[in-house]
Chain A
């Protein structure tokens, strides 16, 4: 086939793909989606505002909501905590050696912020924000990037008037032209360069994880010398409840670890938390009210933990824990059983 014919054939195939499937076979499978079902799942918002619900929120409200629900990871000023994303700053750094990509410096569309906060945040408690809260948080993120003043209110009407600084900073994939020279067909096979020198070595950086962590050999070698453990006082725990608690604990896992190798994350290690002094975990930075409770000698009894887990913010105003609380008493009992089951 000549090149020309080949191209024509390709074009036909391409247009065939996109032709409306006139007599497509129907299988009669599935059922019609109800309008309520579509409304429940079809939440995405496009750059032109398609999909945006009515509502509003101002910077002031946004600051409060952000402090309560977002700051634990993203920082009070959207500057980011540890490795969690920074949402503000980094203006004019995109051509620097290490660009700081934030909503202000990088994101092209405000709709993306609204959509992502609405559907995917807060981490570990997604889809718990009201539309007004999302407007307020979005307004606050704009403010923290110096893009609006502190009087600003964002709503569904002025939404598409907001243009982000880097809106024009993107081009559509141009590899086929900008990198056309990679389509060389016949690469060099001999005498491709005069000399070869090693210019950089990974061993010098030494950032590769050690392999032994998962090795079965070490696990086997370690077990015989392990000290016999004292009998675990879990006789009273109902295994079914513990199992249920392990499932409930998934809601906690994004911030808390427990058991072997547990580390402080967004929240403190929870191993042995039941009947432990409040704010006892070393190396974790508790909120001031939590710290004060601990200094007064308060203890996480089952009753205290149950009250805290039901409504953390009501139990202790000012706690850093952004979790909304466990609604079901069964879940609280189960998670307490699970917490006691792990050594």
Chain B
């Protein structure tokens, strides 16, 4: 930049002459022998013509070149796509916050459209005054912001019997991590009054959604009064329809099925309801045929998101960023170890930021790849002292039929050509 334009405004004539000069030199550069990358030595369309105006995109979607960073489903998993699940493209994301538009969905009767004006939240059961709140009422209670992960209990559930799905999106993509704005459930329960409930230690709240599945779960009062949020914003904006617009429950660290979407009712009860979703589903059958119930907490877990089957190494030898995600429903991630030899030796990865309670933590291991095959693994540790187990360790206790809560160490076989495959190792 010359000082000229700072001091005197160029006349229209000067401007036009100048533009013509630039364009002439561009033609010259394009036709003559420019040494180097034509993307640099030639003037490109985007550097010459203008782009979209500010009125072109009132609400923006990712640019078309990122069109493959989308949720995907696995057709054979469920009878139809309405009572079904899809997966977050974690192999293609970085950082820790999951954009709402590609955060996994799990519905039991499809994603419904419920207007704020039509929204009602009832609190009933063992409360002093059963209450009904409108959406506007909820926005008048003191609000909090928290970042939490939401993981379906069935995440990695297809991998119990062996390596099955070839991609981090499919093996570990039933998870998202958002910043929620909402009202603590405790505040709403206190508004209705808990004197009637008497001794609270043995009481429960039954929470229920407004959709046709009427999905409901029983939550012990201690958790309900601890950190459960009645949320209406995620990542700063309204919840998406598929995540429970206008109001969902956030149950930090506990399985996603309890995070009731389109939350319509909270009932204080003297006993758990033992609904379908807490008896026939979301119970974990052990090898001897007995089943664990009330396995609400999601144990510490991690996965390398890149390189991975959907994110192969394409750049050859040399500097390589190994990255992934770690989380724990029991507290904060305190460390992540990475192995490139299938678990013989481990080195501590770098956490992008110190782990926080019940939220995703991003880790990195920056290596100089020599082109040799790797059996890539990650192992999470949390603030309770828990260390993510191997699949063999889990099977030893739980057998093969648990379906839920598979938090085993994942192995990617990265080959010499940079491709990766989901494998199991001895």
Contacts and interface: CB of A to CB of B under 8 A. Distances in A.
B105 interface: no
B175 to A, nearest CB: 18
A192 B343 CA distance: 7
B417 interface: no
Contacts of A124: 212
B44 interface: no
Contacts of A254: 80, 82, 109-110
B137 interface: yes
Contacts of A115: 273, 275-276
Contacts of A30: 123, 131-134, 137, 191-192
Given A173-B296, A189-B345, A33 B287 contact: no
Nearest to B424: A200
Nearest to B287: A95
A120 B212 contact: yes
Contacts of B344: 190-193, 196
Contacts of B221: 18
A48 interface: yes
Nearest to B162: A200
B213 interface: yes
Interface in B254-306: 264-265, 267, 269, 271-276, 279-280, 283, 285, 287-297, 299
B129 interface: yes
B72 A214 contact: yes
B291 A196 contact: no
B372 interface: no
Interface stretch (A178-186, A289-297, A323-331): A178-186
Contacts of A162: none
A126 B209 CA distance: 13
A36 B419 CA distance: 62
Interface in B321-349: 337, 341-347
B181 interface: no
A120 B167 CA distance: 34
Contact of A198 (B274, B381, B413): B413
A44 B208 contact: yes
Contacts of B170: 208-209
A214 B137 contact: no
Given A83-B79, A171-B290, A254-B82, A201 B423 contact: yes
Contacts of A2: none
A184 B393 CA distance: 13
B279 A172 contact: no
A196 B342 contact: yes
Given A46-B274, A171-B291, A190-B345, A123 B109 contact: yes
A170 B292 contact: yes
Contact of A216 (B68, B166, B299): B68
Nearest to B202: A18
Interface residues of B, number: 114
Interface in B134-178: 134, 137, 140-141, 162-167, 170
A262 B305 CA distance: 33
A132 B184 CA distance: 40
A232 interface: no
B406 interface: no
A170 B215 CA distance: 21
Given A42-B265, A183-B385, A198 B423 contact: yes
A187 B381 contact: yes
B294 A173 contact: yes
Contacts of A224: none
B79 A27 contact: no
A20 B80 contact: no
B265 A171 contact: no
A112 B276 contact: yes
Given A120-B214, A215-B67, 15 more contacts: A46-B274, A115-B276, A120-B212, A170-B291, A171-B293, A182-B299, A183-B385, A184-B385, A192-B345, A196-B341, A201-B413, A202-B165, A209-B72, A211-B68, A214-B67
Interface of B: 64-65, 67-68, 70, 72-76, 78-80, 82-83, 108-110, 122-125, 129-134, 137, 140-141, 162-167, 170, 186, 190-195, 197, 200-201, 206, 208, 212-216, 221-222, 225-226, 264-265, 267, 269, 271-276, 279-280, 283, 285, 287-297, 299, 309-310, 337, 341-347, 375, 379, 381, 384-387, 389, 393, 397, 400-401, 413, 421-426
24 contacts: A14-B222, A19-B200, A26-B190, A27-B141, A32-B131, A33-B123, A37-B132, A41-B208, A44-B206, A45-B273, A46-B269, A46-B272, A97-B401, A101-B280, A107-B279, A120-B109, A123-B83, A126-B214, A170-B292, A175-B292, A175-B297, A193-B426, A202-B165, A211-B72
Interface of A: 14, 17-21, 24-27, 29-33, 37-38, 41-48, 50, 73, 82-84, 94-95, 97-99, 101, 103, 106-109, 111-112, 115-116, 119-120, 123-124, 126-127, 169-175, 178-179, 182-185, 187-193, 195-203, 205, 207-209, 211, 213-217, 219-220, 250, 253-254, 265-266
